[in-house]
Amino acid sequence: MAREGQIKVQSEKIFPIIKKWLYSDKDIFLRELVSNASDAIKKLERLNAIGEADTGEEKGRIEIQIDPEAKTLSVSDNGIGMTEDEVEKYITQIAFSGAEDFIEKYKDKTDAEAGIIGHFGLGFYSAFMVSDSVEIDTLSYQPGAKPVHWVSDGSDTYEIGEGARECHGTTITLHIGEDSKEFLEEFRLREMLHKYCHFMPYEIYFYPKKKDLSQKEEKSGEESKTEEKPVNNTQPLWLKKPKDCTKEEYESFYREVFMDFNPPLFWIHLNVDYPFNLKGILYFPQQSNKLQVMPGEIKLYNNQVYIADNIKEVVPEYLMLLKGVIDCPDLPLNVSRSFLQNDGDVQKISRHITKKVSDKLHSVFEEDRASFEGYWEDIAPFIKFGCIKDEKFYDRVKDIVLFKTLNHDYRTLEEYRKENEGQIFYVTDENVQAQYIRLFQENGMNAVLLTHAIDSHFISFLEYKESGLKFARIDSDLSDSMKTDGEKPDEEAVKALCEQFKAAVGKEDLDVQAENLKSKETPAIILVSEYERRLNDMSAMYGGMFPAGAQAKTTLVLNAQNDIVQKITSLPEEQKPLVCKYVYDLAMLSNQRLSADELSEFMKRSSELLKLAVFSQRAE
């Protein structure tokens, strides 16, 4: 006879609340039920192993079935099962009190935090997120146990009584609610099984069409049994010993998990027994887009049960640019952020992973520098981001950070500084800064290419860490080696010339200087203050932190060695402004800084000059 019971919770509204809060991760119920099934099988295996149970050699097996007509979804296992007392204890009392704690703790939280709450899961009771009612049919493995049937419609009452199950194990049947019909669709279920159950340790079979349970073993016949394929891979590669894994295996596992058909650059197989348990594989992906960093994906598992992606408390944020799987049985299945933040093990795990990653980078660098250089453009954003985020990581990898030079070879910071004295000039765009690059190369000077969005942060970070280190963009300063030692131009003459330029260009605040440049052909160049430009870049990036729109100070450097510049003062008065402006235009053009209006003015001046040239020829 079925007996009714009262669920002991203060609020009868517990289920509507659960439904609302867990909404964002509704499909997590499947993981919870399948992992309970998996736990039940494991418990029975242990009991068999120590002689406490004797249920034979039968393989652990989980079956998932949907019946769109009856609107049911069931999860069935051949595990340990439950007696009536156990159902009372584990389902009615304990689990409910867990749910109650949850409600207590989070009742004041807003919907905005639903995402976090989604990571809790609620074990068995998450089934009510998608169901009008839930049934349990279970038979304990214990000899002479009676089958039990339990049903609850998600209010505060339930019914418990004798069931009909014949073999040990448990079947949970969900009567799917009207607003959750998606969970009766084969495609949706397959997708969820792939996400949550892909590496579960016991075989999972999916029956999208109702399978007649009475036909089970006897009548299905041998052939159809051999055809059956589990939907999961019970032996993921991370369980294998690293020394037994081949390159092909690592690469095909990568494809299987991440659906990324560009092979990874290299990988790290994590395998720790002490002081905590951890297994996993981290891959360094190729970056298909060299300018933008593609987010990676670190999947976290607990004994092959998927927990979540990209939990930054376990895996440092910058490692999320990698792709990988981490299986850590010491983590609870229902990860809550606050738990992870305060857990010492979690911090140890995070440190361990960081160390392994830097060790691997070092070994590639030391054992095969050419390959390391080949990988550099792909791994650089990750390494630089890591350095900025984690000083310990920086200390570990700073000696292997590479800089690509104008000659397109790679140098470590130390190597580069041995070859090049003073500040380190850098190029952010080879096209835009082509004129400066030419000037540098004419003078036998080198610079490094820092073209990635993260580089501006990275060089500021390096300057802060390494005293005496200074970076300057190639258009921000003149190096002494670009000047000749020739006699200084006459001070008075220079002053007059500078005034001439200021007046001609019509910019009172224009800073004009004259230098003896080795490259005689260059009449003048523009220099842009490194410091002010960086401030501007930052305010453009963060908007509002600094006064926006301000122009970085620019300086016009006239080349006293250039014959046009030398000639200016002796030109007829009316020609001076035109030539001065033109020299200025050319310098600005090399810096690619003419606005549309300025450019059309420049065109006008060009034709004027052309006219002059043409007419002076005729006069000769």
Distance separating alpha carbons of residues 413 and 398, to the nearest angstrom:
8
Q: What is the DSSP letter of 517?
A: B
Q: Is 77 annotated as a binding residue?
A: yes
Q: What residue 95 binds from Mg ion, ligand ADP, none (CB within 5 to 8 A, per partner kind)?
A: ligand ADP
Where in 59-98 is the site for ligand ADP (CB under 6 A)? 77, 79-80, 82, 90-91, 95
Burial of 98-128, coded b for 16+ CB within 10 Å and e otherwise, reads: bbbebbeebeeeeeeebeebbbbbbbbbbbb
- Please tell me the total number of residues recorded for the chain in this structure: 620
CA-CA distance, 516 to 519, in Å (whole number)? 9
Please tell me whether residue 327 binds ligand ADP under the rule CB under 6 A: no
Site for Mg ion in 8-67 (CB under 5 A): 36
Helix (H, G, I), strand (E, B) or coil at 275: coil
Question: Rule CB under 6 A: is residue 131 a binding residue for ligand ADP?
Answer: no
Q: How far is the CB of 138 from ligand ADP (least distance, A)?
A: 7
Does 123 help bind Mg ion (rule: CB under 5 A)? yes
Q: What are phi and psi of 556, to 5 degrees?
A: -95, 115
Strands (DSSP E) along 9-147, which ranges? 61-67, 72-77, 131-139
Cβ atoms 117, 106 nearer than 8 A: yes
Binding window for ligand ADP (CB under 6 A); candidates: 33-41, 61-69, 256-264, 489-497: 33-41
Q: Which residue is nearest to Mg ion (CB)?
A: 123
The SS3 assignment for 433 reads coil
Q: Cβ 77 to ligand ADP, closest distance in Å?
A: 5
Min separation Cβ 91 and ligand ADP, Å? 5
Instruction: Provide the b/e sequence for 577-596 (b: ≥16 CB within 10 Å).
Output: bebbbbbbbbbbebbeeeee
Q: From the CB of 95, what's the least distance to ligand ADP, in Å?
A: 4
* 97 annotated to bind ligand: yes
Q: Which is nearer to ligand ADP, 80 or 557 (CB)?
A: 80
Q: Closest Cα to residue 511, out of 541, 532, 538?
A: 532
What element of type H or E holds 473?
Answer: strand 471-473
Between 36 and 476, CB nearer to ligand ADP:
36
How many CB atoms are closer than 10 A to CB 574? 7
Q: Name which of residues 162 to 201 contact ligand ADP (CB under 6 A).
A: 170
| Sites for ligand ADP among residues 303-322 (CB under 6 A) | none
Longest dimension (CA), the chain: 123
CB closer to Mg ion out of 36 and 140 = 36
Is 30 or 361 the residue whose CB approaches ligand ADP more closely? 30
At 245, give phi and psi (nearest 5°).
-95, 140
Residue 170 assigned ligand-binding role = yes
Select the residue whose beta carbon is closest to ligand ADP and give its number: 123
- The CB-of-325 to Mg ion minimum distance in angstroms stands at 21
Q: Which residue stretch of 34-42, 311-319, 373-381, 392-400 sits at the interface with ligand ADP (rule: CB under 6 A)?
A: 34-42
Tell me how far apart the alpha carbons of residues 202 and 572 are, in angstroms, rounded to a whole number.
Answer: 94
- The answer to whether 74 is a known ligand-binding residue is no
Residues that bind ligand ADP (CB under 6 A): 32, 36-37, 40, 77, 79-80, 82, 90-91, 95, 123-124, 170
Q: Which segments are annotated as binding site?
A: 32, 36, 77, 82, 97-98, 170, 337
Binding site for Mg ion (CB under 5 A): 36, 123
